[in-house]
Amino acid sequence: MLSYRHAFHAGNHADILKHSVLINILESLNTKDKPYTIFETHSGSGVYNLEDERSLKTNEAKQGILSLLPQMDELDFPESLSNYYKITSLYKRHKCYPGSIELERIFTKPDCTHIISELNNSEIETLKKNVSNEPLVIVNTEKKCVRTQVHHRDGFETVLSLTPPAIKRGLCLIDPSYEEKDEYKDTGNAVIKIHRKWNVGIIALWYPLLAHRAIEIEQMKNNIIANVKAFNSNTNILDARLCINTADSHIETELKDNSGPPRLYGSGMLIINFPWKLDEKTQANLDYITKHIYKNEKTSFSIMTY
pLDDT at 3: 52
Examine the pLDDT at 62 and tell me if it is beyond 90. Answer: no
Predicted TM-score of the model (pTM) = 0.94
Instruction: Give me the half-sphere count of Cα atoms (radius 13 Å) on the Cβ side of residue 150.
Output: 22
pLDDT digits (tens, 9 = 90+) for 216-246: 999 999 999 999 999 999 999 999 999 988 8
Q: 43-47, 128-132, 168-172, 291-295: which has the minimum mean pLDDT?
A: 291-295
Three-state secondary-structure class, residue 87: helix
Residue 1 pLDDT grade (very low, low, confident, very high; cuts 50, 70, 90): very low
| Domain 6-305 of CATH type 1.10.110.30 | no
**Nearest partner of 114 among 96, 98, 131, judged by Cα:** 131
The percentage of residues in the chain with a pLDDT greater than 70, rounded to a whole number, is 92
Q: To the nearest whole number, what is the mean pLDDT of the chain?
A: 91
Sequence-ordered list of residues with C-beta below 8 angstroms from that of 210, at least 6 positions apart, any chain: 217, 263, 264, 265
Q: 58-62, 83-87, 156-160, 279-283: which has the minimum mean pLDDT?
A: 58-62
Q: For the chain, which residues make up each domain, given as ranges?
A: 6-305
Q: 113-122, 131-140, 184-193, 295-304: which has the minimum mean pLDDT?
A: 295-304
Kindly list the distances between the CA atom of residue 173 and the CA atoms of 52, 111, 204, 250, in Å, as whole numbers in the listed order.
26, 19, 5, 28
Query: Is residue 164 reached through a cis peptide bond, with omega within 30 degrees of 0 on the bond before it?
Result: yes
